[in-house]
């Protein structure tokens, strides 16, 4: 099926910054469209976004160069051609860019075209995207991990750790799980109001109050779970993303927003060990820095049989980095963010590599999101069983939840809810 038209425009993400939207049409009239997100807390090995750097437009964050690359170079290379399978299209895009990190054309441009092509082919095949990517066995709905208290780079408050999440795993369906999560989210809002704390939200829709300690965030969430009528741990558990790379300072971890103290890797691992003993935490993402490979290995040795340890910054959805992690015993799960690697095929290859090594996969949004719902279809396609895409509010976050609700309804009796078993230990 030949590609007959490719176009792109500059649109806005959830932070009001520009991003890329690509549109693609096949000769039978089938169309695909995609927008790429952008992260704030980013790993140093992520594929490179292409930004204009013109201080007179959007503070230098414009993406007109990336848009022009799609309209001119990418469209010129693909027009009236039949790339065939997704892998061939993505290989062509990578070869056209010609850099190791997709920095010439921009991963933001390449990913938008890659996803748009996947959607167009799915439409041509008259299949939903999750089934086009995952086949007939793509029937597992994920546990939503809702980011209900924000800190770190995602909020201007006194909380060092970036994400405190609720995990409503004890449910019969995704729809029931979302209901449970939203009930806890609203109970938490009432609890914050009762204590005179701010209910303004951060980039991902979680509350961003000033707290007297990082532990107070845990205590408030547990109280909210109970206030909503659920049992902490048994029905609704906790997950954390400290984003420890953001705390890394000359080989130590600096608590730069709360008490200004510094601790080493051993003490950081001891902190997590203590929290795992006292609180119902089922997942720890980036508990140590992307620079601290030795610390990660030791933390995995000590904690890996107690909790899902997810590598985000340290792996960047990159097969080479993941292979090093497998070899050195780092983590037992990987965060999957398509814009970290830049194409649909490379994302799926990384998932397969992780699964073959016995690692879990955890699909994620970015803090600068769009209303594009690709990751909702992706998580069902790969059947990894859990997703993080923000809190219980903000349209760019709930768009993913709503897409998953539609997928579950469409699957009907074939739908399976992953539940507690989705979390690796």
Instruction: Express each pLDDT in 43-54 by its tens digit.
Output: 789 999 999 999
pLDDT at 158: 83
Is 337 a known active-site residue? Answer: yes
Q: What is the pLDDT of residue 260?
A: 73
Partners of 336 in the β-ladder: 363
Residue 61 among known ligand-binding residues:
no
The answer to whether the beta carbons of residues 86 and 113 sit under 8 Å apart is no
pLDDT in tens, 220-238: 999 999 999 999 999 999 9
β-pair type (143-144, 140-141) = unpaired
Instruction: Give the pLDDT mean for 304-330.
Output: 97
Strands of the 143-144 sheet, one edge to the other: 143-144, 386-388, 360-364, 333-336, 308-311, 281-285, 237-241, 163-167, 146-150
- The answer to whether the Cα torsion of 76, 81, 82, 88 is positive or negative is negative
- Whether residue 241 is annotated as binding a ligand: the answer is yes
Question: Does 400 carry a binding-site annotation?
Answer: no
Q: Please tell me the predicted confidence (pLDDT) of residue 152.
A: 78
Tell me the torsion sign for CA atoms 273, 191, 398, 202: negative
Percent of the chain with pLDDT over 90: 92
**Torsion angle, CA of 352/358/359/363, rounded to 10 degrees?**
50
3-state secondary structure of 285: strand
Task: Report the relative pairing of strands 360-364 and 386-388 from DSSP bridges.
Answer: parallel
363 within 8 A of 142, measured Cβ to Cβ: yes
Question: What is the rounded distance in angstroms from the CA atom of residue 223 to the CA atom of residue 217?
Answer: 10
Q: Is 403 a known ligand-binding residue?
A: no
CB 256 within 8 A of CB 247: yes
Q: Per the structure block, which two tokens stand in for 295?
A: 């610390």
Q: What is the pLDDT at residue 148? A: 97
Collapsing DSSP to helix, strand or coil, 99 comes out as coil
Averaged pLDDT for residues 4-22: 97
CA distance from start to end of the chain = 44
Per-residue pLDDT at 103: 96
* 312 among annotated binding-site residues: yes
Rounded CA separation 107/41 (Å): 17
Query: What mean pLDDT do residues 229-249 have?
Result: 96
CB atoms inside a 10 Å sphere around CB 174: 27
| Count of residues making up the chain | 425
Report the pLDDT value the prediction gives residue 350, as an integer from 0 to 100. Answer: 97
Residue 151 neighbours by CB under 8 Å, 6+ apart? 157, 158, 159, 160, 161, 162, 163, 164, 202, 208, 214, 217, 257
How confident is residue 153, by pLDDT bands cut at 50, 70 and 90?
confident
Is position 10 annotated as part of the catalytic site?
no
pLDDT reading at 35 higher than 90: yes
Catalytic position from the list 46, 49, 163, 204: 204
The DSSP letter of residue 110 is H
Mean pLDDT of 283-302: 98
Closest listed residue to residue 242, CA positions, set 212, 205, 269? 269
CA separation for the pair 55, 60 (Å, rounded)? 4
pLDDT for 151 beyond 90: no
Percent of the chain's residues with pLDDT above 70: 99
Is residue 55 predicted with pLDDT exceeding 70? yes
pLDDT at 41: 67
Please choose, from the candidates 371, 326, 320, the residue with its C-alpha nearest in 3D space to the C-alpha of residue 341.
320
CA dist list (Å): 420 to 253, 308, 313: 31, 12, 25
**Which residue is catalytic, options 102, 165, 337, 400?**
337
| 154 secondary structure, DSSP code | G
Helix axes 374-382, 344-356, angle to 10 degrees: 30
pLDDT at 310: 98
Element (H, E) at 153: none
Determine the average pLDDT of the residues in 243-263.
89
DSSP 353-385: HHHHTT-EEEEE--SB--S--HHHHHHHHHT--
Q: What is the pLDDT of residue 111?
A: 98
Plot region of 243 (φ>0 → left; ψ -120 to 50 → alpha; else → beta): left
64 assigned binding-site residue: no
Q: How many CA atoms lie within 13 A of 168 on its CB side?
A: 28
Is 156 part of any known ligand binding site? no
Rounded to an integer, what is the distance from CA 244 to the centroid of its chain? Answer: 16
Does 285 show up as a binding residue in the annotation? yes
- From CA 265, how far away is CA 251, in angstroms rounded? 8
pLDDT band for position 425 (cuts 50, 70, 90): confident
């Amino acid at each position: 099926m030949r590609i007959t038209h490719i176009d792109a425009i500059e649109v806005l993400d959830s932070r009001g910054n520009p991003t890329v939207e690509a549109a693609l049409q096949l000769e039978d009239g089938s169309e695909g469209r995609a927008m790429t997100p952008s992260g704030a807390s980013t790993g140093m090995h992520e594929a490179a976004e292409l930004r204009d750097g013109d201080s007179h437009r959007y503070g230098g964050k414009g993406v007109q160069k990336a848009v022009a690359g799609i309209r001119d170079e990418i469209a010129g290379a693909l027009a009236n051609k039949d790339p065939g399978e997704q892998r061939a299209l993505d290989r062509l895009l990578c070869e056209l860019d010609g850099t190791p990190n997709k920095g010439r054309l921009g991963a933001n441009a390449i990913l938008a075209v890659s996803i748009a092509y996947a959607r167009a082919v799915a439409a041509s095949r008259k299949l939903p995207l999750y089934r086009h990517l995952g086949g007939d066995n793509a029937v597992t709905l994920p546990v939503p991990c809702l980011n209900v208290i924000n800190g770190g780079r995602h909020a201007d408050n006194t909380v060092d750790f970036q994400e405190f999440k609720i995990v409503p795993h004890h449910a019969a369906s995704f729809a029931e799980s979302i209901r449970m999560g939203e009930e806890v989210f609203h109970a938490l809002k009432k609890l914050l109001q009762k204590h005179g704390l701010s209910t303004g939200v951060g980039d991902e829709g979680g509350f961003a109050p000033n707290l007297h300690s990082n532990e107070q965030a845990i205590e408030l969430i547990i109280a909210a779970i109970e206030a909503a009528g659920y049992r902490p741990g048994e029905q609704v558990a906790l997950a954390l993303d400290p984003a420890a790379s953001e705390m890394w300072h000359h080989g130590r971890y600096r608590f730069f927003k709360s008490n200004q103290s510094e601790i080493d890797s051993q003490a950081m691992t001891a902190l997590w060990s203590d929290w795992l003993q006292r609180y119902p935490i089922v997942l720890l993402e980036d508990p140590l820095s992307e620079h601290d490979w030795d610390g990660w290995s030791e933390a995995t040795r000590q904690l890996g049989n107690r909790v899902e340890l997810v590598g985000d910054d340290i792996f960047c959805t990159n097969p080479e980095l993941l292979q090093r992690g497998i070899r050195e015993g780092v983590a037992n799960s990987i965060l999957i963010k398509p814009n970290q690697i830049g194409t649909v095929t490379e994302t799926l290859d990384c998932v397969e590599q992780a699964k073959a090594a016995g690692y879990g996969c955890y699909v994620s949004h970015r803090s600068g999101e769009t209303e594009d719902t690709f990751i909702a279809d992706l998580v069902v396609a790969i059947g990894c069983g859990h997703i993080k895409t923000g809190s219980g509010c903000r349209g760019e976050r709930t768009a993913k939840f709503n897409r998953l609700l539609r997928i579950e309804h469409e699957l009907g009796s074939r739908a399976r809810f992953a539940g507690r078993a989705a979390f690796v230990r």
